[in-house]
Amino acid sequence: MSITTQAEYDQAKATVRTAAAAYYGDSLLMADTEYDRLLAAVTAAEAANPAWAGNDPVGTAVAAGALPPGDVTHVVPMLSLDNVFSTDEFAAWAKNRGEVEFAVEPKLDGLAVAIRYQNGVPAQMVTRGDGLAGEDVTFAVPAIVNLPRGNGYTGEVRGEVIFTRDQFETANALREQHGDKPFANARNGVAGALRGAGNRAYVIPMSFYVYDVVGLPIMTHHTDAMTALSGLGFADAAGLTRFTGAGSALDVAAFIREFESSRADLPVETDGAVIKVDAYRYRQAAGESSRAPRWAIAYKYPAAEVTSVLRAVHWQVGRTGVITPRAEIDPVEVGGVTVTYATLHNPEDLARKGFMLGDVVLVKRAGEVIPRLEAPLLARRDGSQTPIVTPSACPRCGGRIDSTQARPRCLRGSACGVTEAISYAVARDALDIEGLGKVQVGNLVAAGAFIDVASIFETGLSENILVADGQVAPANAPKIIAQIEAAKTAPLARVITALGIQGTGRSLSRALAKHFGSMAALRSASVARLAGVDKIGTVKAELIREQLDDLADVIDRMAAAGVIAADDAAPVATSMGHPVDLPTAALAGKTVVVTGSMKGALAGLSRNEVNELIEANGGKAGSSVSKSTSLLVVGESAGSKLAKATELGVPVVTEAQFAAMVGRA
């Protein structure tokens, strides 16, 4: 956007300041991207027309959503960062820096603070304010759970106070318990939590991640200083990478492209990366403007959080009869794609967050294919909003609803969601019957050819039926028949997945198959034995036991049709249909994590299929790298997991080496 008149400038400046104030309260006026665009337009107008601002420019005070100035002067100004939004823009910025070394770290959006230590004790905490002076918020120090104490350090550290993903959930749960509205998002929420810490009867846990220091012994590089702070117990910005050599700018550009997908694995949310000149002597040569240093830049990814308007709510029935709301919103670009529908979780979530039709809402897409609605922006209600009506009967069949749980469910269960249930059963990570998409399955259900998962295998399904009733292309019909026949010998874990047992998924289905070894053993398992399976407690075990009883007829009919006919034989471990000798399994007792996409001998395998391969060879598939990880398998476009493994000394192998280990080279 552009500002062309004094009146437009005055209005935009007032809106920026109102939005900045709301950001650090318990409300939100606009998404970060809207704020960034508006602020950029205001500052550009000030630069082109200095007389418009007079003695009251927007300047540093709101450049990054800063708090109002306080009465504590900063030893060294706390400046904001300029932004770039593409690798081309970054390359242009880097070219002006010359051939220097760079340090790259995730961009964490919380509340920037300076913490002054005396003999290993945090003695004072000050907000950024206007960059020259900030507010004293020392009263909130006890709520920051990861601050080191007793390390003997005297000096000043700077960084972001943030919510980790888990802490944000905890914060909103605590607010609801005490009758407060949940925070709209983690970034504005942590500011509200910190500023209100002195007036609240309960403590909301927060974290501090350091990104700068004032007062350490003289060092030559930023990365060395951060290593020293890490040794004193400070959490760094969830990972710090150093790039050296003549091509370091190109390496940085490649890294930030890869990091865009891997950042979802971090315990904190990040919307970009911060690139800094590593050597302090080059920083001094680059200098700084009145608002931002010239030796650092923030690379921001396409907006993962934007605003739109909630127009309608559609109620859908899932494969197990669970009824979920789906939001229809005004088309908006988020995360690089244009969306008109978003997830709304469940009716309890609707009521808890107070959504109404016509609300301006925060739409988020960070790591998920389907965006979700985070919260309504209450400050932008104008009285035209109307309540959302939740269904009193199943929206598909009109039957009764079980509303005793967070997610209401049609009492007919999978009989109501049969199209979804069968589509789930024939998907790649279950029975893998290619050619039977949701449209074809829906046609066959409507024609009466499919009534449940067992009917896929029962006699009578012919090429003619697939073509006439399923509207399958004639050339594909014989292929589908062959795949259905092949699916009769699918590994036990995939058959369990195909049953769609409520409370399980691909991972738990593999755990059940590994623990019991046969369908017969699983069907006869008591609640106590089910509860003994990894990641299955008593509550989930009771649900699985009930579901197995409900599915008894389906399982019997599948067995009669030739599926899992070898149940009573000694269990044989398989991977994608290939037997594996477990006593000599290469991965016995190892926890294996995979990152990146598989190529070569393992090309085309989904993450679930790779996890099956790990478990079939005696290993345990992990999702994140930790000290207990035995091995990291690195595919193409590996990201933060590789850096974490290197930091912890976890052994790393390529995809080709891994394929050789498990006999798939």
Q: Any idea what the CATH number is for the domain that residue 124 is in?
A: 3.30.470.30
**pLDDT interval class at 572 (50, 70, 90):** very low
Q: Is the pLDDT reported for residue 238 higher than 70?
A: no
- Mean pLDDT on 55-77: 66
Min mean pLDDT across 59-73, 214-228, 398-412 is at 59-73
Cα dihedral 197→198→200→205 (10° resolution): 30
Say which residue, 521 or 617, is predicted with more confidence. Answer: 521
What distance in Å separates the CA atoms of residue 266 and residue 268, rounded to the nearest whole number? 5
Q: Last residue of a domain, which of 518, 536, 560?
A: 560
The percentage of the chain sitting over the pLDDT mark of 70, rounded to a whole number, equals: 91
- Mean pLDDT on 453-471: 84
Say which residue, 227 or 503, is predicted with more confidence. Answer: 227
Going by C-beta distance under 8 Å and a sequence separation of 6 or more, which residues neighbour residue 315?
323, 324, 325, 326, 390, 391, 395
Q: Is the pLDDT reported for residue 567 higher than 50?
A: no
Q: Is there a domain that residue 416 lies in?
A: no
Residues known to be catalytic: 107
Q: Are strands 102-108 and 241-243 parallel, antiparallel or unpaired?
A: antiparallel
Give tens-digit pLDDT for 258-281.
787 777 777 888 888 999 999 988
Domain shared by 211 and 316, yes or no: no
Domain shared by 245 and 279, yes or no: yes
What distance in Å separates the CA atoms of residue 598 and residue 610, rounded to the nearest whole number? 9
Domain shared by 252 and 331, yes or no: no
Min mean pLDDT across 91-100, 231-240, 294-303, 387-396 is at 231-240
The number of folded domains in the chain is 5
pLDDT at res. 124: 96
CB atoms within 10 A of CB 21: 15
pLDDT at res. 570: 35
DSSP string, 340-365: EEEE---HHHHHHHT--BT-EEEEE-
Domain shared by 52 and 126, yes or no: no
pLDDT at res. 405: 76
- Mean pLDDT on 139-155: 93
Domain shared by 461 and 512, yes or no: yes
Q: Is there a domain that residue 367 lies in?
A: yes
**Of 28-32, 245-249, 520-524, which one has max mean pLDDT?**
520-524
- Mean pLDDT on 339-368: 81
Q: Residue 523 belongs to what H/E stretch?
A: helix 519-523
Q: Map residue 514 onto helix, strand or coil.
A: helix
- Mean pLDDT on 101-128: 92
Question: Do residues 12 and 38 make contact, with C-beta atoms less than 8 angstroms apart?
Answer: yes
Q: Is there a domain that residue 414 lies in?
A: no
Say which residue, 292 or 217, is predicted with more confidence. Answer: 292
Domain shared by 113 and 226, yes or no: yes
Q: Is the pLDDT reported for residue 249 higher than 90?
A: no
Domain shared by 522 and 554, yes or no: yes
Give tens-digit pLDDT for 381-423.
999 999 998 888 999 888 899 888 777 888 887 778 888 889 9
pLDDT at res. 505: 81
| Tokens (6 digits) for 244 | 């050296």
- Mean pLDDT on 154-178: 91
Question: Do residues 31 and 19 make contact, with C-beta atoms less than 8 angstroms apart?
Answer: no
**pLDDT interval class at 65 (50, 70, 90):** very low
- Mean pLDDT on 132-161: 93
DSSP lists the bridge partners of residue 57 as none
Q: What is the CATH number of the domain that holds 626?
A: 3.40.50.10190
Domain shared by 191 and 255, yes or no: yes
pLDDT at res. 446: 87
Q: Is there a domain that residue 657 lies in?
A: yes
Domain shared by 364 and 238, yes or no: no
CB atoms within 10 A of CB 267: 11
| Tokens (6 digits) for 151 | 């390390």
Q: Is the pLDDT reported for residue 42 higher than 70?
A: yes
pLDDT at res. 583: 40
**Of 381-395, 460-474, 625-639, which one has max mean pLDDT?**
381-395
Q: Is the pLDDT reported for residue 336 higher than 80?
A: no
| Tokens (6 digits) for 593 | 């994590």
Q: Is the pLDDT reported for residue 55 higher than 50?
A: yes
Give tens-digit pLDDT for 471-499.
888 988 899 999 998 899 888 889 999 99
| Tokens (6 digits) for 205 | 């846990």
Q: What is the CATH number of the domain that holds 19?
A: 1.10.287
Min mean pLDDT across 234-248, 296-310, 620-634, 645-659 is at 234-248
**pLDDT interval class at 181 (50, 70, 90):** confident
| Tokens (6 digits) for 471 | 């509207």
* Mean pLDDT estimate for the chain: 83
What distance in Å separates the CA atoms of residue 344 and residue 363, rounded to the nearest whole number? 10
Domain shared by 99 and 216, yes or no: yes
Q: Is there a domain that residue 426 lies in?
A: no
pLDDT at res. 43: 84
Going by C-beta distance under 8 Å and a sequence separation of 6 or more, which residues neighbour residue 496?
504, 509, 512, 513, 519, 522
Q: Is the pLDDT reported for residue 584 higher than 50?
A: no
Nearest Cα neighbor of 423 from 397, 444, 395, 408 is 444
Q: What is the CATH number of the domain that holds 367?
A: 2.40.50.140
Give tens-digit pLDDT for 585-623.
578 778 888 887 777 778 877 777 788 788 778 788 887
| Tokens (6 digits) for 505 | 């998924």
Nearest Cα neighbor of 499 from 555, 549, 456 is 555
Nearest Cα neighbor of 607 from 615, 598, 599, 616 is 598
**Cα angle for residues 421, 484, 316 (degrees, 5° grid):** 15
What's the predicted TM-score (pTM) here? 0.58
Say which residue, 116 or 176, is predicted with more confidence. Answer: 116
- Mean pLDDT on 430-440: 88
DSSP string, 24-87: TTT--SS-HHHHHHHHHHHHHHHHH-HHHHTT---GGGGTTSPPPP-SEE-SS------EE-SH
Q: Is there a domain that residue 65 lies in?
A: no
Q: Last residue of a domain, which of 268, 300, 332?
A: 300
Domain shared by 309 and 296, yes or no: no
**pLDDT interval class at 566 (50, 70, 90):** very low
pLDDT at res. 394: 92
Going by C-beta distance under 8 Å and a sequence separation of 6 or more, which residues neighbour residue 260?
301
Q: What is the CATH number of the domain that holds 488?
A: 1.10.150.20
Domain range for 329 is 305-402
Domain shared by 340 and 472, yes or no: no
pLDDT at res. 569: 34
- Mean pLDDT on 442-449: 88
Q: Is the pLDDT reported for residue 459 higher than 70?
A: no
Q: Is there a domain that residue 444 lies in?
A: yes
Q: Which amino acid is at 497?
A: T
Q: Is there a domain that residue 425 lies in?
A: no
Eight-class DSSP state of 616: H
